[in-house]
């Protein structure tokens, strides 16, 4: 890893915080300090290490296998990493997810809530989770439909699942502010304090609208190479 890469990543992280401060000032709201989750999916190892060496410790991954391959080794070097699952969770991968991740952000149906509860009890790892809401009603995305959220909240409470907040991914073509406002309304209704919303294109807006957790990938690491 070159010194230039580490400098670039560190500057990018600082720029994220500066953009949040500027947006909050522009919106006339109190300065926000959301948890910055660096989304490391499909990023080269050198960039991830540069972020780690810049002090970043909270990361998000979409796919279990990629996360296993990347973080099993890195956690031996950096023991204070907090790893969030921000991609969909299949029921047959719940056991591995509970073992690897520290936070599950994509609980979207009662079946997954039940399996997570059982597996957390088995592993004695009672992880905080977010309920994902499909605010845009997109068939290709995970998340429960808004009208199904009350039932999921009720079932999760009955299971004693440690639900700390709500998460959403707005449709790319929509004004994200509409979805952030909707998620915030749902959170208030169900007495949740954490809101995971905002990505590289809209994280500053999300922070100004009350996000407590933002998921930022390319704004920190640069464009992903899917080839």
Element at 189 (helix H, strand E) = helix 176-189
Rounded Cα gap, residues 87 and 60, in angstroms = 9
Q: Which residues contact 204 (CB under 8 A, 6 or more apart)?
A: 19, 20, 22, 23, 198
Q: Kindly report, residue by residue over 63-105, the tens digit of the pLDDT.
A: 999 999 999 999 989 989 999 999 999 999 999 999 999 999 9
pTM to 2 decimals? 0.94
Average pLDDT score, the chain: 94
CATH of domain 3-221: 3.20.20.10
Q: Are the C-beta atoms of residues 144 and 117 closer than 8 Å to each other?
A: no
Which sequence spans correspond to the domains of the chain? 3-221
Query: Cα-flanking dihedrals φ and ψ of residue 176, to 5°?
Result: -65, -25
Which pair of structure tokens corresponds to residue 151?
């039932």
Listed as own residue / partner, the contacts of 145-148 with beta carbons closer than 8 Å and 24 or more positions apart are: 146/182, 146/186
Rounded Cα gap, residues 89 and 112, in angstroms = 8
Q: Kindly report, residue by residue over 100-129, the tens digit of the pLDDT.
A: 999 999 999 999 999 999 999 999 999 999
Q: Kindly report, residue by residue over 17-42, the tens digit of the pLDDT.
A: 999 999 999 889 888 889 999 999 99
What per-residue confidence (pLDDT) applies to 30? 86
Nearest CA to 91 out of 75, 103, 104 is that of 104
């Amino acid at each position: 890893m070159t010194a230039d890469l580490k400098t670039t990543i560190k500057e990018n992280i600082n720029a994220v915080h500066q953009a949040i401060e500027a947006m909050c000032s522009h919106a006339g709201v109190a300065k926000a300090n959301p948890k910055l989750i660096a989304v490391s999916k499909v990023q080269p190892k050198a960039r991830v290490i540069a972020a780690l060496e810049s002090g970043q410790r909270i990361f998000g991954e979409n796919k279990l296998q990629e996360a296993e391959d990347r973080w099993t080794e890195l956690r031996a070097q950096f023991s204070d990493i907090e790893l969030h699952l921000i991609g969909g969770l299949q029921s047959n991968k719940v056991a591995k997810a509970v073992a690897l991740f520290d936070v599950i952000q994509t609980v979207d149906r009662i079946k997954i809530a039940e399996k997570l509860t059982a597996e957390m009890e088995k592993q004695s790892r009672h992880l905080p989770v977010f309920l994902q809401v499909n605010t845009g009603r997109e068939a290709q995305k995970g998340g429960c439909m808004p009208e199904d959220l009350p039932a999921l909240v009720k079932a999760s409470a009955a299971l004693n699942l440690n639900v700390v907040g709500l998460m959403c991914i707005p449709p790319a073509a929509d004004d994200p502010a509409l979805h952030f406002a909707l998620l915030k309304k749902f959170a208030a209704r169900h007495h949740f304090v954490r809101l995971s919303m905002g990505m590289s294109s809209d994280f500053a807006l999300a922070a100004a609208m009350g996000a407590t957790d933002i998921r930022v990938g390319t704004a920190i690491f640069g464009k992903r190479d899917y080839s």
